[in-house]
Amino acid sequence: MSPDEVEAIRIRLSGAWTLSEEPKQHSQAPHLKWAKNVVQEILGNSEEGTVDEISVETDGDRRVNQSENTSNNVKQQVETTREPGEVPLDLRMDAQHSDAELDMDESLELEGLRDDEDDRSRSWEEVELRNVLDTIQRRKRNSRFFNAAQLYQQYNEAAQNFEILRQARSDGTTVSEDTTPSLAPSPSPPPARRPLPPLPSAPTPHRFSHTGSITSVQSLPLPEPPKIEGRPPSPRLSISLSKSSSLWRELPGVRNSSELEELTEDQRRLQEVRFEVVTSEASYCRSLDIVVEHFVKSKQLGALLGTQDRNWLFSRLADVRAISHSFLSKLEERVESNLMSFTVCDIIAKHCQRFKMVYVPYLTNQSYQDATYQRLMNENPGFRRIVEKLEQSVVCQRLPLRSFLVLPFQRITRLKLLVQNIVKRTTPGTTEATQAIKALKLLAKLIQESNDSITQMKSIESLVSLSAKVDFECRTLPLISQSRRMIREGPVTELMDFSLKDTERSVYLHLFNDYLLLSLQKEGGRFTVVDHSPVSELRVENCRVKLHSLQKNLFRVHMSTKALLLRTDALSDKLRWISALSRPHPEIDFSAAQDFPQMQCIRAFVAQQPDELSLEKADIILVHQQSTDHWVEGTRLSDRHRGWLPASHLETITNSRVRQHNLEDALKVSTATAAV
């Protein structure tokens, strides 16, 4: 069989895209064409990076139908002749790899890649991903962590509530790891879209709700986990996890070990953080299995959805799951090898390249995923009915589909926070510290690349749309540029010479990272640009004195040839324009930020404008300024991203010792990463 035929068989056997035999459809929408071009550029022209290239051609389908029958016969023969207890192998081109060869596959080097003519036409990432997925399927194993795991949504909610409680301690003491909050903060409402800042403005998607909000991970029954064939788990680990322990020190193998008494309290806490990486990954894999097996492979949804809608909605969840199970397997093997002093950061760093291959395209697709979900929920009653029925199943514990679709972003950001906690607790200069910092940098780079990919796609789409709606009364400026990003846009009032008949007029500002456009808004959503200026030639001034005792919220923008006196309706709009026009902002020195107020996010917020900052529960920000109409500008401590968000989602951290501890932790992480 040719490599194309084998790959088509692999895709069909995986069940990810075989829910419908609908012929391949090509969208002619201009914004999708632009989006596909951008995705190709971002992903290096990866075959699965665009919607048109996920499905196989019609001729290929006919070959697959013939080859699939052959592969099924071969697979049945293999199953018949397999010895009891032997690990079942999927049909693969190189299924004869030895364990040593499999370890070489784990090195992510090019030596193990196929070099035939067909593969040479693909990007390195695509070929490597296919080899990795093949290897993963050959190395399936049972997982006691996975079988005992709660759903990731439950874990994430509990972890965020615990951190909020820790920050809210009035006495400033540290909350011990075994503390059970009696009055945990109420769960956040499900996010409208995945929090991946910054994003251009977009219509608010369909808001969903569900009963039985998570208030305690003990209050919900756990579904029966899928049975996974594979090698028997370690007897030591099986016994240790027989009681579904969630803390490392509660494991019988740890509790009964004489080495435990020799560890300091800091060393014990470090092991707890490492162990949380493993248990949370098990929860994540369990939730991914539910969304893939229960939703992606649903025959009812498969019969209802077209190929393109299915690809936009579920993207590459099956590949994300495969990579995550491989990662969990490596983590478990490490725990089994040394229960008392295992490390995890080297494994995380090693898998970051694999994470990139599946997470960047999945997260880049998130805005189209949201739009597809919104459209189907609003326009397709059959889709809404089937999804609501699936959500009521005990398997997904009444959690909505949207809570499963946002899992990849929630996981990659949580993993980064866990690695940050390891960096805080490791001794500088040690091998573990070096590995932790390396993993932290790679995760931060992955998240930033995902943000940049989304921003680039949205920016080009918005520029194409704006370019078709703009006329120039002044010198024409080509709008479409891959380096151009929207910073802020919106209407303001320009106050003109009071000697003129018309003393004011409504204007519309488009502020990009390189230019400011001053326009008059016309009917039909069109704009007439009356002036524009490079950002480098702009200067903004806050007018604090009310003119003529009636005007308020005034600010002045100095351009190269003239100055504009502008007014906004709300104080927060004025402050946000001044902040946006004052970019770039100076870097925050955490060692000299003791006087900055600190606030913590108590309810997740999703940015709707490019100058807003998306926050997850328990995120901490340094506050730069607040408006009287309840908007706050702040810098997130974990990554120094800056933006605006409503005060209703925040709570002030009043204890000075807690604030000082937060700054010290942030400074330690930034210092350690800068030194390596």
Give me the pLDDT at residue 292, please: 94
Share of the chain above pLDDT 70, in %: 64
Highest mean pLDDT pick, 212-226, 233-247, 302-316:
302-316
Give me the pLDDT at residue 458, please: 85
For the chain, what is the mean pLDDT?
74
- Residue with more model confidence, 130 or 638: 638
CB environment 365-374: b (16+ within 10 A), e (fewer) = bbbbbbbbbb
Residue 285 makes CB contacts below 8 A (sequence gap 6+) with 143, 146, 149, 321, 324, 325, 328
Give me the pLDDT at residue 567, please: 92
pLDDT tens digits, 329-351: 999 999 999 999 999 999 999 99
Give me the pLDDT at residue 215, please: 30
CB contact at 8 A, 671 and 589:
no
- Residue with more model confidence, 131 or 314: 314
Highest mean pLDDT pick, 188-197, 498-507, 587-596:
587-596
- Residue with more model confidence, 380 or 217: 380
pLDDT tens digits, 161-193: 888 887 776 444 444 444 433 334 444 444 333
Q: What is the mean pLDDT of residues 62-83?
A: 42
d(CA 430, CA 452): 33
Q: What is the mean pLDDT of residues 581-608?
A: 90
Give me the pLDDT at residue 231, please: 36
Q: Kindly list the domain boundaries of the chain, sorted by start residue.
A: 262-459, 470-582, 590-675
Which amino acid is it at 248? Answer: W
Give me the pLDDT at residue 127, please: 53
Is the preceding peptide bond at 586 cis, omega within 30 degrees of 0? no
Give me the pLDDT at residue 545, please: 63
Q: Where are the alpha helices (DSSP H) in 392-470?
A: 401-405, 407-425, 431-467
Assign 145 a pLDDT band (cuts: 50, 70, 90). Answer: low
Assign 670 a pLDDT band (cuts: 50, 70, 90). Answer: confident
pLDDT tens digits, 18-59: 333 344 344 444 444 555 554 454 444 433 333 333 333 334
Evaluate if pTM is beyond 0.75. Answer: no
CB contact at 8 A, 8 and 63:
yes
Share of the chain above pLDDT 90, in %: 44
Lowest mean pLDDT, pick from 219-228, 258-267, 316-325: 219-228
CB contact at 8 A, 506 and 500:
no
Assign 378 a pLDDT band (cuts: 50, 70, 90). Answer: very high
Lowest mean pLDDT, pick from 180-189, 410-419, 464-473: 180-189
Q: What is the mean pLDDT of residues 471-481?
A: 91
Lowest mean pLDDT, pick from 46-55, 62-71, 143-152: 46-55
Give me the pLDDT at residue 119, please: 42
Residue 214 has pLDDT above 70, yes or no: no
- Residue with more model confidence, 666 or 103: 666
CB environment 636-659: b (16+ within 10 A), e (fewer) = bbbbebbbbbebebbbebebeebb
CATH code assigned to 470-582: 2.30.29.30
CATH topology of domain 590-675: SH3 type barrels. (2.30.30)
Give me the pLDDT at residue 493, please: 93
Per-residue tokens: 463: 């520029």
Give me the pLDDT at residue 589, please: 87
Which amino acid is it at 621? Answer: I
CA triple 445-446-447, angle to 5 deg:
90
CATH topology of domain 262-459: Dbl Homology Domain; Chain A (1.20.900)
Q: Reduce the DSSP state of residue 444 to 3 states and report it.
A: helix
Lowest mean pLDDT, pick from 112-126, 162-176, 376-390: 112-126
Residue 83 has pLDDT above 70, yes or no: no
